[in-house]
């Protein structure tokens, strides 16, 4: 561990850049979202980050982070992506489980779970969505019946990213039912090796198996694993989702890299003089720069580490932009289908096609774009609330 990491100081941009340039491993690592098994190289990279104090710069110093506020965290994210560093393995642990445990967990829970998240000994997934409960999350039907000092869970989750590689799932279960659907929901941490849990990967159009169905049959969970109090999990879940949609999720650098990749295709295919393509690339660059400044404004207006409802603009913007970027890229590839056979570009084309499918899902995950528009209209603009059942 470096002296600076020991001191827990928020690192400077130049220092982060130097460290990443020295330490980032060569070659592309598979995105864990694809569902393949975790490789030793991926784990080693996570441990290297941890040992240098870079596993979670946004975590408070007392929990092993650097105490970085949103602005400092964005700097780290930008440098990370500029270096082409590998995709992170434990995003649900670092972004959702960790901050939730810090805010709502008991001292015992913090001691039990935070360190293994940070050093990637335990990987987490998010078990919120169910077949009839996505945007309308309060409609969830997985039940938990209290039995002494344990609860018995029955039901099904769906679209659980990374379930096959996870040791823990943070789950929402229904412990009671009354007239208000948000009441009676409990937020609980469940060990994925508990008997009665069955994971079924879902094969997507790209061939990836990154997300899964998770079935619970009489799964016995200690009440000590409840986060917050029984029946009051809705507030815990809303806080966790705020972290998921926050400004730190995507840096403009990712989009600049995508644009640079399209430009390589354009140059490689001899299309640089195509006026329509030139216009499209110019428009995309303008949008990326707008996004960069918009994120800067969101960060400047945030209260330290916590995103405000305005973060919904960011989610809306980056998901539309990544969709558009990948559509333009696919149009360029479509003009030279024979290029897919060129040895030089083949890997980049295969990766682009896989990313294209994932980009289409970006309007859905982390809260659909229609739901973000509802949040913006109600909570940012103060317009009348949508009618609810
Ligand atoms: C790649 C990917 C990864 C995911 N990973 C996870 C995960 O790890 N864990 C997890 O729990 N979930 C995960 N999800 C699930 C995701 O959170 C849900 O798909 C999402 O919340 C939408 O729910 P749904 O699919 O049930 O669609 P629905 O909620 O049924 O929505 C269908 C359509 O109706 C629209 N709609 C719904 N309600 C409203 C409204 N009030 N106003 C206007 N329009 C509305 C939606 O915008 C959408 O267009 C993932 C999804 C994807 C695509």
CB 219 within 8 A of CB 192: no
Strands 124-127 and 168-174: parallel
Measure CA 278 to chain center.
32
Task: Encode pLDDT of 89-114 as tens digits.
Answer: 999 999 999 999 999 999 999 999 99
Query: How close is the Cα of 6 to the center of ligand 1, in Å?
Result: 41
Q: Report whether residue 129 contacts ligand 1, using a CB cutoff of 6 Å.
A: yes
Give the pTM. 0.91
User: Atom 24 in ligand 1: which residue has the minimum CA distance?
Assistant: 134
Mean pLDDT for all residues in the chain: 90
- Please state, in angstroms and rounded to a whole number, the distance separating the CA atoms of residues 191 and 219: 10
Q: Is 146 in the pocket of ligand 1 (CB under 6 A)?
A: no
Q: Do 234 and 302 touch, CB atoms closer than 8 A?
A: no
- Residues with Cβ within 8 Å of residue 202, at least 6 apart in sequence: 158, 159, 209, 211, 212, 213
The alpha-carbon radius of gyration of the chain (Å, integer) is 22
Determine whether the shortest distance from the Cβ of 138 to ligand 1 is under 6 A. no
Helix (H, G, I), strand (E, B) or coil at 37: coil
pLDDT at 9: 74
Residues 212, 158: Cα–Cα separation, whole Å:
6
Tokens of 7: 């001191």
Do the beta carbons of residue 88 and residue 57 sit within 8 Å? no
Q: Are 178 and 241 in contact (CB under 8 A)?
A: no
| CB of 34 shorter than 6 A to ligand 1 | no
Q: Give the pLDDT confidence score for residue 28 in this predicted structure.
A: 77
Whether 244 is a known active-site residue: answer yes
The alpha carbon of 319 and the centre of ligand 1 are apart by a number of angstroms equal to 14
C-alpha closest to that of 122 among 169, 79, 77: 169
Q: What's the pLDDT score for residue 296?
A: 86
Is 202 a pocket residue for ligand 1 (Cβ < 6 Å)? no
Terminal-residue alpha carbon distance, the chain: 54
The runs of H, that is alpha helices, within 183-251 are 233-245
pLDDT of residue 1: 41
CA dist., res. 375 & res. 303, Å (int): 19
Residue 267: count other Cβ atoms within 10 Å of its Cβ. 10
- At residue 69's C-alpha, the angle toward residues 63 and 73, to 5°, is 90
Q: Can you tell me whether residue 218 is helix, strand or coil?
A: strand
CB atoms within 10 A of CB 297: 13
Ramachandran angles phi, psi of 6, nearest 5°? -65, -40
- Ligand 1 binding pocket includes 368 (Cβ within 6 Å): yes
Q: Which of 96, 156, 185, 365 to mutate to test the pocket of ligand 1 (most atoms within 8 A of CB)?
A: 365
Q: How far is the CA of 139 from the centre of ligand 1 (A)?
A: 13
Rounded to 5°, angle at Cα 257 from 253 and 117: 55
State the distance from the centre of ligand 1 to the C-alpha of 167, rounded, in angstroms: 24
> Which residue's CA is the closest to the ligand 1 atom numbered 23?
134
Average pLDDT over residues 274-281: 96
Residue with the two structure tokens 């330290």: 304
pLDDT (0 to 100) of residue 304: 59
Q: What is the DSSP letter of 31?
A: P
Percent of the chain with pLDDT over 90: 70
Q: For 338-368, what is each residue's pLDDT tens digit? A: 776 777 788 889 889 989 998 999 999 888 9
Residue 4's contacts (CB-CB under 8 Å, 6 or more residues apart) are 11, 15, 53
Q: What is the pLDDT of residues 153-199, one digit of tens each?
A: 999 999 999 999 999 999 999 999 988 889 999 999 999 999 999 99
Which is catalytic among the residues 79, 122, 130, 244? 244
Q: Residues for the chain: how many in total? A: 389
Q: CB-based contacts of 203: which residues, under 8 Å, 6+ apart? A: 209
User: Within 10 Å of residue 317's Cβ, how many Cβ atoms?
Assistant: 18
Using the 8-state DSSP alphabet, how is residue 77 labeled? Answer: H
Q: Mean pLDDT over residues 127-147, rounded?
A: 96
Helices (H), 66-156: 70-82, 91, 98-104, 107-118
Q: Which residues pair with 188 in a beta bridge?
A: 171, 226
């Amino acid at each position: 561990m470096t002296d600076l990491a020991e001191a827990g100081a928020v690192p400077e941009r130049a220092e982060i850049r130097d460290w990443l340039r020295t330490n980032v491993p060569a070659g592309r690592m598979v995105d864990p979202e694809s569902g393949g098994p975790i490789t030793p190289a991926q784990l080693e990279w996570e441990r290297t980050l941890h040992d240098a104090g870079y596993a979670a710069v946004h975590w408070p110093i007392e929990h092993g982070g650097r105490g970085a506020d949103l602005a400092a965290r964005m700097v780290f994210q930008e440098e990370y992506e500029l270096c082409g560093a590998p995709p992170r393995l434990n995003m649900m642990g670092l972004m959702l489980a960790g901050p939730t445990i810090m805010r709502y967990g008991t001292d015992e829970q913090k001691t039990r779970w935070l360190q293994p998240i940070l050093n990637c000994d335990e990987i987490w997934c998010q078990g919120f969505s169910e077949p009839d409960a996505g945007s309308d999350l309060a409609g969830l039907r997985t039940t938990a019946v209290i039995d002494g000092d344990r609860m018995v869970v029955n039901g099904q989750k769906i679209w659980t990213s990374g379930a096959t590689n996870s040791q823990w799932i943070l789950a929402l279960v229904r412990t009671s039912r009354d007239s208000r659907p948000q009441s009676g929901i409990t937020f609980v941490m469940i060990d994925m090796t508990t008997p009665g849990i069955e994971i079924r990967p879902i094969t997507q159009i790209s061939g990836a198996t990154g997300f899964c169905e998770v079935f619970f049959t009489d799964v016995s969970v200690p009440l000590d694993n409840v986060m917050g109090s029984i029946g009051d999990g809705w507030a815990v879940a809303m806080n966790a989702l705020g972290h998921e949609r926050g400004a730190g999720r995507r840096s403009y650098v990712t989009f600049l890299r995508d644009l640079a990749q399209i430009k390589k295709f354009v140059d490689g295919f001899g299309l640089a003089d195509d006026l329509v393509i030139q216009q499209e690339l110019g428009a995309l660059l303008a949008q990326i720069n707008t996004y960069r400044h918009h994120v800067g404004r969101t960060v400047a207006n945030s209260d330290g580490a916590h995103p405000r409802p305005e973060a919904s603009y960011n989610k809306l913007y980056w998901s539309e932009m990544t969709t558009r970027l990948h559509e333009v890229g696919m149009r360029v590839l479509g003009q030279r289908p024979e290029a897919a056979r060129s040895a030089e570009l083949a890997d980049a084309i295969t990766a682009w096609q896989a990313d294209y499918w994932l980009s289409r899902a970006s309007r859905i995950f982390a809260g659909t774009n229609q739901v973000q528009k509802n949040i913006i209209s109600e909570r940012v603009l103060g317009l009348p609330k949508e009618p609810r059942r």
